[in-house]
Structure 1
Amino acid sequence: MNKLIALLILFISTTAFAQSKPFIYGIVLDESGQPIEGVYAYYDTSKGRVETTTNRNGVYKLDIPVIEKVTVWFSHLSFKGLYAEIANLSPGESFEFNFTFKPDTQVMPILVIDKETGRKQLEGITTISPDLIKNIPGANAGVENIVKLLGGNSNNELSTGYNVRGGNFDENLVYVNDIEIYRPFLVRSGQQEGLSFTNTAMVKNVDFSAGGFQSKYGDKLSSVLDITYRTPERFGAALEASFLGGSLTVEGVSKNKKWGAIVGARYRDNSLLVNSQETESNFRPTFTDIQSLVTFNPNEKWELSFLGNISQNKYQYQPLSRQTNFGTIDDPIALQILYDGQEKDEYQTYFGAFTAKHKISDTFSLKLIGSVYHTQEQEHYDILAQYALGDVDTNIGSDTFGDIQFARAVGSQLTHARNDLDALIANAEVKGYHTLGKSQIEWGAKYTREDIRDRLVEWEVIDSAGFSIRPPVVDIRNDQPYNPFTGDLVPYNNIRSTNFVTINRVSGYAQWSHKTNWGDSEVFLNAGARVHQWQVDVPDGSGKSQIVVSPRAQFAIKPNWEMDMLFRLSGGVYQQPPFYRELRDSTGTVRPNVKAQKSIHIVAANEYSFKLWDRPFKLVSEAYYKKLDDVNTYTLENVRIRYRADNAATAYAYGVDVRMNGEFVLGTESWVSLGYMKTEENLNNRGYIARPTDQRLKVAILFQDYVPNIPNLKAYLNLTYNTGLPGGSPSYADPYDYQSRLKDYRRVDAGFSYVFVNVGDKKITPPKASWLKPFKELSLGLEIFNMFDNQNSITNTWVRDVYTKSQYGVPNYLTSRVFSLKLLARI
Structure 2
Amino acid sequence: MKTIQKAILNLLFLGIGISTWSQNAKLRGIVLDEYKQAIPNVSISNGVVETQSNSNGFYEVSIPSNKKLTVVFSHISFKSASIVVFLKPNESIEFNPVLNTLQEQMSEVIVTAKNTKRIQGITSITPEVLRKIPGANAGVENILKTLAGVNSNNELSTQYAVRGGNYDENLVYVNEIEVYRPFLIRSGQQEGLSFTNTDLVQNIDFSAGGFQAKYGDKLSSVLDITYRKPSSFGANFEASFLGGSMAFDAVSKNKKWSAVTGFRYRNNSLLVKSQETQTNYTPTFADVQTNINYQASAQWHWSFLGNISKNDYRYQPLTRQTNFGTLDQPLALVVYYEGQEKDQYATYFGAIKSTFKPNDISVLKFIGSLYHTTEQEYFDILAQYRLGEVDANVASETYGKVAYTRGIGSQLNHARNNLDALIANIEIKGFHDWKKNQLDWGVKYTRESIRDRVVEWEVIDSAGFSIPPPIVLPLKNEPYSLYTGPLVPYQNVRATNFTTINRLSGFAQWNSKSSIGTSTIWYNAGLRFHHWEVSAADEIGKSQLVLSPRAQISIQPNWDKDMLFRFSGGMYYQPPFYRELRDASGMVQPNVKAQQSVHLVVANDYNFKVWNRPFKLVSELYFKSMSNVNTYTIDNVRIRYAANNLAKAYAQGIDLRLNGEFVPGTESWFSFGYLKTEENSQNKGYIARPTDQLLKFGLLFQDYMPNIPSMKVYLNLVYNTGLPGGSPSYSDPYVYQNRLRDYRRADVGFSKIVIDNKENSIPKKWLGNFKELAVGVEIFNLFNNQNAITNTWVRDVYSKNQYAIPNYMTTRVFNIKLTAKL
Per the normalisation by structure 2, the TM-score is 0.88
User: After superposition, what is the alpha-carbon deviation per residue over 1:63-105, rounded to whole angstroms, capped at 9, x for unaligned?
Assistant: 999xx99665999xxxxxxx9984259999955278xxxxxxx
Give 1:344 shift: 0.5
SS of the equivalent of 2:119 reads helix
The answer to whether the 8 Å contact 2:81/2:99 transfers is no
CA–CA distance in structure 2, aligned partners of residues 123 and 775 of structure 1: 39
Aligned counterparts, 1:8-87, within 5 A: 59=68, 72=82, 86-87=96-97
1:305 equivalent to 2:303? Answer yes
Opposite residue 488 of structure 2, the aligned amino acid is: V
Opposite residue 696 of structure 2, the aligned amino acid is: K
1:129 equivalent to 2:121? Answer no
SS of the equivalent of 1:665 reads coil
The answer to whether the 8 Å contact 1:70/1:86 transfers is no
SS of the equivalent of 2:283 reads strand
Give 1:538 shift: 1.1
The answer to whether the 8 Å contact 1:343/1:380 transfers is yes
The answer to whether the 8 Å contact 1:370/1:428 transfers is yes
Residue in 1 that maps onto 2:10: none
The answer to whether the 8 Å contact 1:451/1:501 transfers is yes
Residue in 2 that maps onto 1:689: 687
Residue in 2 that maps onto 1:792: 787
Residue in 1 that maps onto 2:333: 335
In terms of mean alpha carbon deviation, does 771-780 or 684-693 score higher? 771-780
The correspondence for 1:717, drawn from 715, 718, 742, is 715
CA–CA distance in structure 2, aligned partners of residues 352 and 768 of structure 1: 44
Give 1:474 shift: 2.7
Give 1:487 shift: 2.3
CA–CA distance in structure 2, aligned partners of residues 329 and 751 of structure 1: 35
Distance 1:687 1:807, change over 3 A: same
Aligned counterparts, 1:528-607, within 5 A: 528-607=526-605
The answer to whether the 8 Å contact 2:715/2:746 transfers is yes
The correspondence for 2:769, drawn from 774, 777, 788, is 774
User: After superposition, what is the alpha-carbon deviation per residue over 1:547-589, rounded to whole angstroms, capped at 9, x for unaligned?
Assistant: 0000000000111111111110000011000000000001101
SS of the equivalent of 1:412 reads strand
After the TM superposition, list the runs of 4 or more consecutive aligned residues in structure 1 that deviate by more than 3 angstroms: 30-35, 38-44, 57-65, 68-75, 83-86, 88-95, 475-486, 764-772
CA–CA distance in structure 2, aligned partners of residues 576 and 141 of structure 1: 29
SS of the equivalent of 1:182 reads coil
User: After superposition, what is the alpha-carbon deviation per residue over 1:415-453, rounded to whole angstroms, capped at 9, x for unaligned?
Assistant: 000000000000000001011211110000000000000
CA–CA distance in structure 2, aligned partners of residues 770 and 73 of structure 1: 43
Distance 1:89 1:544, change over 3 A: farther
The answer to whether the 8 Å contact 1:415/1:459 transfers is yes
Opposite residue 109 of structure 2, the aligned amino acid is: E
CA–CA distance in structure 2, aligned partners of residues 41 and 609 of structure 1: 26
User: After superposition, what is the alpha-carbon deviation per residue over 1:267-293, rounded to whole angstroms, capped at 9, x for unaligned?
Assistant: 000000000001011012221000001
Residue in 2 that maps onto 1:818: 813
Residue in 2 that maps onto 1:140: 137
Distance 1:73 1:537, change over 3 A: closer
User: After superposition, what is the alpha-carbon deviation per residue over 1:689-735, rounded to whole angstroms, capped at 9, x for unaligned?
Assistant: 00000000000001111110110011000011000000110000000
Residue in 2 that maps onto 1:805: 800
Residue in 1 that maps onto 2:350: 352
SS of the equivalent of 1:198 reads coil
Aligned counterparts, 1:105-504, within 5 A: 118-150=115-147, 151-476=149-474, 485-504=483-502
SS of the equivalent of 2:212 reads coil
Give 1:519 shift: 2.5
The answer to whether the 8 Å contact 1:86/1:114 transfers is no
Give 1:665 shift: 1.1
User: After superposition, what is the alpha-carbon deviation per residue over 1:169-220, rounded to whole angstroms, capped at 9, x for unaligned?
Assistant: 0000000000000111001111111100000010000000000000000000
Give 1:149 shift: 2.7
SS of the equivalent of 1:201 reads helix
In terms of mean alpha carbon deviation, does 475-484 or 603-612 score higher? 475-484
SS of the equivalent of 2:282 reads strand
SS of the equivalent of 1:664 reads coil
Aligned counterparts, 1:665-680, within 5 A: 665-680=663-678
SS of the equivalent of 2:580 reads helix
SS of the equivalent of 1:400 reads coil
**Unpaired segments ≥5 residues, structure 1:** 1-29, 45-53, 76-82, 99-112
Distance 1:214 1:372, change over 3 A: same
User: After superposition, what is the alpha-carbon deviation per residue over 1:215-255, rounded to whole angstroms, capped at 9, x for unaligned?
Assistant: 00000000000000000110000001110001000111100
Note the aligned Cα RMSD (angstroms). 2.8
The answer to whether the 8 Å contact 2:82/2:107 transfers is no
CA–CA distance in structure 1, aligned partners of residues 751 and 479 of structure 2: 69
Give 1:778 shift: 1.2
CA–CA distance in structure 1, aligned partners of residues 355 and 792 of structure 2: 53
SS of the equivalent of 2:396 reads coil
Distance 1:617 1:478, change over 3 A: closer
Opposite residue 448 of structure 2, the aligned amino acid is: E
User: After superposition, what is the alpha-carbon deviation per residue over 1:119-159, rounded to whole angstroms, capped at 9, x for unaligned?
Assistant: 01101111110000111100000000111233311100000
The answer to whether the 8 Å contact 2:47/2:71 transfers is no
The answer to whether the 8 Å contact 1:381/1:415 transfers is yes
SS of the equivalent of 1:145 reads helix
Distance 1:579 1:388, change over 3 A: same
Distance 1:671 1:70, change over 3 A: farther
The correspondence for 1:726, drawn from 724, 727, 733, is 724
Residue in 2 that maps onto 1:615: 613
Opposite residue 819 of structure 1, the aligned amino acid is: F
User: After superposition, what is the alpha-carbon deviation per residue over 1:287-311, rounded to whole angstroms, capped at 9, x for unaligned?
Assistant: 1000001100011101100000000
Per the normalisation by structure 1, the TM-score is 0.88
SS of the equivalent of 1:668 reads coil
Give 1:667 shift: 1.4
Residue in 2 that maps onto 1:48: none
CA–CA distance in structure 2, aligned partners of residues 440 and 754 of structure 1: 47
CA–CA distance in structure 2, aligned partners of residues 89 and 257 of structure 1: 15
CA–CA distance in structure 2, aligned partners of residues 563 and 32 of structure 1: 17
CA–CA distance in structure 2, aligned partners of residues 301 and 572 of structure 1: 36
Opposite residue 279 of structure 1, the aligned amino acid is: T
CA–CA distance in structure 1, aligned partners of residues 620 and 764 of structure 2: 49
Residue in 2 that maps onto 1:96: 109
CA–CA distance in structure 2, aligned partners of residues 255 and 427 of structure 1: 34
Give percent identity, aligned residues only.
62
Opposite residue 487 of structure 1, the aligned amino acid is: G
The answer to whether the 8 Å contact 1:756/1:767 transfers is no
SS of the equivalent of 2:128 reads helix
Opposite residue 354 of structure 1, the aligned amino acid is: I
In terms of mean alpha carbon deviation, does 664-673 or 626-635 score higher? 664-673
CA–CA distance in structure 1, aligned partners of residues 361 and 387 of structure 2: 72
Residue in 2 that maps onto 1:7: none
The answer to whether the 8 Å contact 2:465/2:478 transfers is no
CA–CA distance in structure 1, aligned partners of residues 739 and 184 of structure 2: 25
Give 1:522 shift: 2.0
Q: How many residues align?
A: 758
